[in-house]
Amino acid sequence: MSIDTIVFFILAATSIISAILVITRRSPIISVVYLVFNFIILAIIYLTLHAQFIAVIQVIVYAGAIMVLFLFVVMLLNLGKEEMLTEKITYKKRIAIGLAVVMSVQIIIGITTSFGEHPNQLSPLATQIGTVEHIGKVLFTQYLLPFEIASILLLAAIIGAVVLAKKRIG
């Protein structure tokens, strides 16, 4: 086994374990911490795929901004009390989880068999396309319209978040 593969398996195992911990921890704060950890692992995986720009914004936007927002809300709502967090596992939920597991196993098998004939080598272009230079060039020419739409989406989200979270109704 080459060093690449070993590194990949270590990263994959850590990311899966941290993801499982996110959804099984009782306290939201601990979940947030594991989620941040998961995102950082993913950023490292992106680096192994030569996607530097994505790896950096993954850390800045996700681990930095979004997760801090989550932590902030958890603190604001003060959900430390245990009794508020008790969850019941009903039979309906069991069926739902069972279905989800069956579906995901199907997806995994389906996808891994379908892409068997795909290139199993990183494309030689891979080192060039992930750079800030290249992404910037494409973003402001070919992807100009989506970029502008994303800015309107962010504007709407900013105002919406303020409107909804503000205390007074007027």
Q: Is 77 in the site for another protein (CB under 8 A)?
A: yes
Residue in 10, 75, 80, 93 binding another protein, rule: CB under 8 A: 93
Name the CA dihedral angle for 53, 59, 60, 62, rounded to a multiple of 10 degrees: 110
| Rounded least distance, CB 20 to another protein, Å | 6
75 binding another protein? (CB under 8 A): no
**10 contacts another protein (rule: CB under 8 A):** no
124 near another protein, judged by CB under 8 A: yes
- What phi and psi, each to the nearest 5 degrees, are found at residue 91? -65, -35
* Span between the terminal Cα atoms of the chain, in Å: 64
Shortest Cβ 117–another protein spacing (Å): 8
Q: Quick check: 63 binds another protein (CB under 8 A)?
A: no
The only residue of 10, 75, 80, 122 in contact with another protein, by rule CB under 8 A: 122
CB of 159 to another protein, least distance (A): 6
Binding mask 139-168 vs another protein (x if CB under 8 A, - otherwise)?
x-xxxxxx--xx-xxxxxxxxxxxxxx-x-
Q: The tokens of 139 are what?
A: 């973003």
Is 125 a residue that touches another protein (CB under 8 A)?
Answer: yes
Token pair listed for 157:
């989200």
User: Is the Cβ–Cβ distance between 122 and 49 less than 8 Å?
Assistant: yes
Residue 31 near residue 70 (C-beta atoms within 8 A): no
Q: How far apart are CA 77 and CA 71, in angstroms?
A: 10
Binding mask 21-60 for another protein (x = CB under 8 A): -xx----x--xx--x--xx--x--xx--xxx-xx--xx--
Distance CA 127, CA 111 (A): 25
